[in-house]
Amino acid sequence: MTCPYCGFRFQVLAANGPIPEVAPLVCERCLEIGLLIKGQLRTITDEELAAVKRSPSWAAIQRGIEVMRGAKRRANWENN
């Protein structure tokens, strides 16, 4: 599976439960949100992103993105 935004190729997909047929997925390289539909990842439309943001799970997704951004900032700082 490849990120439709940056081309990053996912080697492993980890989840804390069954993956639904339609689910948002955050790329660990570019931190863009894609839409995983039956195992295929594609870009997300504005309407779909708005629906994801209205979801009760959005807070968890947002926290995950912030954790990844923080890790990237620390890694960049340590490498410079």
Written as six digits, the tokens of 61 are 């997704």
* pTM for this predicted structure: 0.76
> What's the pLDDT band for 8 if we cut at 50, 70, 90?
very high
Is residue 33 within 8 A of residue 53, CB to CB? The reply is: no
**At a CB cut-off of 8 Å and minimum separation 6, what does 44 contact?**
24, 33, 34, 35, 52
The confidence score (pLDDT) of residue 80 equals 66
Q: What are phi and psi of 36, to 5 degrees?
A: -95, 115
